[in-house]
Amino acid sequence: MTTTLLFDRIDEPGLHTLEVYRRRGGYEALRKALAMPPEAVLHELEASALRGRGGAGFQMGKKVSFLPKGGMDKYLVCNADESEPGTFKDRELMQKCPHMLLEGIVIAAHAAGATRSFIYIRGEYVLQADILDAALAEARAAGFVGEQILGSDTSLSLVVHRGAGAYICGEETGLLDSLEGKRGNPRLKPPFPANQGLYQGPTLINNVETLCTVPTIVTMGGSEYAKLGVETSTGTKLVSVSGHVQRPGNYEIELGIPSREIIYGLAGGPPEGRRVKCWFPGGSSSPVLTGEDLDIPYDFDSMAKAGTMLGSGAIIVVDDSTPILDVALKVAKFYRHESCGKCTPCREGTSWTVTMLERIDAGEATPMDLEIMASVQEHIMGNCLCVLGDAMAMPIGSMIAKFRPELEAHMATARIRSGVGGGAATEGVLAAQGALVGAGAGPHGEAH
């Protein structure tokens, strides 16, 4: 239906081997890029207007151009930590077409003048890391990675570095600290990695999908690539669809198509008889949208306009069978677990939010707790060292804003269930509120 670039026949047997990859013209883009001066390659990247696929959506070409010129050691780090809940696109790329990533890395390094590169892959991806290691060995042997690649004077060392389970190591500066052998705590910015990153040297950090797109851009030319998608969101994007859909999985779409086409057209929509209650358009960190928002075009700016974000391109669909509180609790618990603990609002705010949600569920909360919870989210937002705090505050905040009546009802019924409300225990808010009024209301209470 839409153009497939990254996923084009990706299930072809043996594609993970150098032989098959080359039979399909693999590493020709590298040959072409190495024949061009770095500036020319950078120009193509800028012309493509490719936006980062890792979450922030920052233009890759711009980022490369931020790296200082000069002879100092520069680094390229591929962010393969992929731990944003709902995201699993990088996994499929690395597992089935590792050489595409390697080729992209070498080209990007050539453009950025980096001489050392690392792939930081989450430790849970054992299979994919092994595949990358094997591919790297092949590529080295064939002279695509290492000293004076293909006889050019571009050299690049590459190491596959396995993480050990920490979401925060996907955040670029947390990743750098982790790669330096420290706890994965994010750093203060500025200085930005482009100036002072890995080992204090200028560092380019890009997501797997972003780098996998680079060879395509070099092959078809930046401006050609820019014709795909929509003006401010060019090209194709891998979307990981999961949750309450009939055909979960990764789909490559042209940016800007209606979200409905992805959720219903490709992923088959929610099970028979269910309707979309809410969905995360860009991983669990993005504010939720509802069934009414299905026609919003799926691209960076449209999502921003709708008050949410495209993030990592992970669509999580929740149908009407699930209470919103369960969703909120899952999300909050995740961020509490993953908060690195370095900054106050995130460390304390995430655990406070979980406590309040649990209290609501246990029927020990009052409507005031919703107010407090909402304001706690506001106090977290924008006040943290990195955006992990915001990554919880935004979705939770959006759920409180969009599902307040349901949350209040949940609270009320839970109070009755737990006996706090006492008195007349019928379902529904009004009855519940009646019960609340009745509770301990002396003679009137008895009169009821």
Partner 1 sequence: MPRPAPRTITFTIDGLEVQAPENSMLVDAAKHGDIEIPVFCYEPKLGNPVGACRMCLVEIEGIPKLQTGCSTPVKDGMVVHTQSERVKVAQNSVVEFLLINHPLDCPVCDKGGECPLQDITFGWGRGISRYVDPKRHFVKPLALSPLIAIDRERCILCYRCVRFSQEISEDHQLVLQERGAHSYVSTFDGHPYVAPFSGNIVELCPVGALTSQPYRFRARPWDIEDAGSVCTLCPSQCNVTLTVRDERVLRVLSRANPEVDDGWLCDRGRFAYPALGGDARVTAPLVRDGGELRPVSWERALEEAAAGLRRAGERVGALAGGGATCEEGLLLARLVREVLGSPHLDSRVAGALPLELLRALAEPSLQATVSDLEFAHAVLLLDCEPVADAAILDLRLRKGVRRHGLRLVPAGRAQLLDQAARAQLLDTLRAAGEEVVVLWHERLGAGAEGERAVRALLDLAATLGLAGIDGAGLLEVPAHTNGRGLREAGVLPNAGPELGELDEGGLNEGGLDAQGIATALAAGELSALYLLDVDPLAGPSPLPSSEHLRSPWAAPEPELWERALERASTVIAHATFLTEGVRAHANVVFPALAYAEKEGTVVHPDGRVQRLRPGVARPGETRDERRVLDELTAMVAPVAVGS
Partner 2 sequence: MSSVPRFQHGSRVPGWDMAADLDKDPATIPGVGGSPSPEVPEGLRADIEAHMALYPDPRSAILPALEAAQRVHGWCSPEAIDQVASVMRLTPAELVAVATFYDMLETTPVGRHSVYVCTNISCSLCGADELYEAVRAAAGDDPEFNVRSFECLGACDIAPMASVDGAYVGPLTLADVPTLLEDIRAGREVLPEKQLARRPCADPGAGS
Ligand X SMILES: Cc1cc2nc3c(=O)[nH]c(=O)nc-3n(C[C@H](O)[C@H](O)[C@H](O)COP(=O)(O)O)c2cc1C
Q: From the list partner 2, ligand X, partner 1, none, which binds 350 (C-beta under 5 to 8 Å, kind-based)? A: partner 1
> Of the listed pieces 177-185, 380-388, 399-407, 429-437, which binds ligand X according to CB under 6 A?
380-388
Q: Which token pair is 340?
A: 């690195």
134 vs 100: CA distance, rounded Å: 14
Spatial contact of 395 and 353, defined as CB atoms under 8 Å apart: no
391 contacts ligand X (rule: CB under 6 A): yes
Q: Does 3 bind partner 1 (CB under 8 A)?
A: no
**Three-state DSSP class for residue 254:** strand
**Distance, CA of 204 to CA of 114 (rounded, Å):** 8
Q: Which two tokens stand for residue 417?
A: 């269930």
Give the contact letters, 325-344, x = binds to partner 2 (CB under 8 A), - = no.
Answer: -xx--xx--x--xx-x----
**Locate tokens 């299930």: which residue?**
11
Residue 17 one-letter amino acid: T
Binding of ligand X at residue 101 (CB under 6 A)? Answer: no
Q: How far is the CB of 349 from partner 1 (least distance, A)?
A: 6
At 242, which helix (H) or strand (E)? Answer: strand 236-243
- Cβ atoms within 10 Å, residue 188: 9
Sign of CA dihedral 427, 431, 435, 436: positive
Candidate residues 29, 34, 83, 423; the one interacting with ligand X per rule CB under 6 A: 83
Q: How far is the CB of 332 from ligand X (least distance, A)?
A: 15
Q: Which two tokens stand for residue 326?
A: 């369960």
How many other C-beta atoms lie within 10 A of the C-beta of residue 394? 21
From 207, 213, 234, 350, residue interacting with partner 1 (rule: CB under 8 A): 350
**DSSP states along 114-138:** --EEEEEE-TT-HHHHHHHHHHHHH
Q: Cα(31)–Cα(143) distance, rounded to whole angstroms?
A: 11
242 belongs to the binding site for partner 1 (CB under 8 A): no
Burial per residue of 16-54, b for 16 or more beta-carbon CB atoms within 10 angstroms, e otherwise: bbbeebeeeebbebbeebbebebeebbbbbbbbbbbbbb
Establish if 440 lies at the interface with partner 1 (CB under 8 A).
no
Which residue in the set 7, 44, 55, 184 belongs to the binding site for ligand X (CB under 6 A)? 55
* Binding residue (CB under 8 A) for partner 1 from 379, 406, 422, 431: 379
Residues near partner 1 (CB under 8 A), total: 29
Q: Verify binding: residue 171, ligand X, rule CB under 6 A.
A: yes
Q: State which of positions 283-302 bind partner 2 (CB under 8 A).
A: 284
Contacted by 58, from partner 2, partner 1, ligand X, none: CB < 5 to 8 Å by type = ligand X
Check residue 170 for interaction with ligand X (CB under 6 A): yes
Choose from partner 1, partner 2, ligand X, none: what does 298 bind? Cβ within 5-8 Å by kind: none
Among 203, 206, 242, 286, which residue interacts with ligand X (rule: CB under 6 A)? 206
Three-state DSSP class for residue 253: strand
Residue 343 Cβ vs ligand X, minimum distance, rounded to whole Å: 12
Residue 383 within binding range of partner 1, rule CB under 8 A: yes
Candidate list 53, 336, 410, 415; residue touching partner 1; CB under 8 A? 336
Cα–Cα distance, 144 to 348 (Å, whole number): 48
- Taking CB under 6 A as the criterion, the residue among 386, 392, 396, 414 binding ligand X is 386
Element (H, E) at 233: strand 233-234
Is residue 82 a contact point for ligand X (CB under 6 A)? Answer: yes
Residues that bind partner 1 (CB under 8 A): 166, 183, 188, 336-345, 347-352, 355-356, 359, 372, 376, 379, 382-385
The residues binding ligand X (CB under 6 A) are 52-56, 58, 79, 81-84, 168, 170-172, 205-207, 210, 386-388, 391
